[in-house]
Structure 1
Amino acid sequence: MMRQVRYVEQRDPLAVPLLAELAVEYSSRYGGTAAEVRRDLTAYPAAEFTPPDGALLVVVEDGEPVAGGAFRRYDAGTAELKRIWTARDHRRRGLGRFVLAELEAEIARRGYVRVYLTTGPRQPEAVALYNAAGYTALERNIQHEIGPLHRFEKHLPDSGPARPRGAGDTGVHAGNS
């Protein structure tokens, strides 16, 4: 099986099915329609998920988008993870951890030293993923209409000289799995 990591824009045809499935998943867990949730997901300015400060990646296996995730600038030294997702038919294969590792590597290349994220109270799989990947749980002091959000952070190891943000890789990485 050929696995590729592609950096795309929010409206790229490879990202569309993952965001649509994510909207269905969130609506089933938290309420609202999939269309309402999709509008919320795409309400963020798409430019926040493009270089120099952010990225959106999609993992493609044999031509099919199977997982993805994004980050954007949170503050000068911190990237915020968003939209980590694995397609329903491809779960339990380590793709979430793979996406997380790819995002962390790109975040470090962009010069960020810390990763921050929030996840909802009805996403135990996400909490388990972040705990297993070495994230530190922070106080759950953000109240949201769906309940208190889980907050996490991770300080990235010093990986040597960083590329200036804006020199991010927008290409394709390939590998076998």
Structure 2
Amino acid sequence: MSITKEELVVKRNISGKKVFWLFILTNLVYAFMLMVTIPNTMAFSNGMKLLDMMPTGYDFNYVNKLFSDLGDNGRETYLTSQIPVDMVYPLLFGVSYCLLMAYLLKKINKLKPFFYYLCLLPIIAGIADYIENMGIITMLKTYPDITETTVTTTNMFSVIKSISTSVFFFALIVILILVGISFFKKSIITT
């Protein structure tokens, strides 16, 4: 079976140092969102969760209530504080977690076509996150004239992001366990 260009790019970039530093950068950006931009935006929301933080989705009524509760200042904060950081994060998430999965699969000699698809899950999540963000931007800019179609489409990509992220982290835990078992077996053999 031949190697695709994407597989070649991944295989070229799975050095431990590169994966480590991308992982650190990605999680620093994520921590910044969790500790700064999301709380700053939610300060206006009367306890309602932001659309980015609703893994099971939302509907038209929820979006209208959230945007109403946010008020002008909250919607502006969402648009100019949270969304810009969340336009950086999906790329970092997609690349770093794709390479992390590839690195771990390589450690257990499973970086093969079937398992390679696990590396694509964070990329799918990142793309869905970008489309979700575009929908949120559209709704924030057009509020109160948001449409049911925009909400439904944005919600669909929020759920796709959530599902692909959840499946990825489940797979990552399984692969980490396999890496641990492999390491344990090698250490027993060498002693």
TM-score using structure 2 length: 0.28
Q: Which has the larger radius of gyration?
A: 2
TM-score using structure 1 length: 0.30
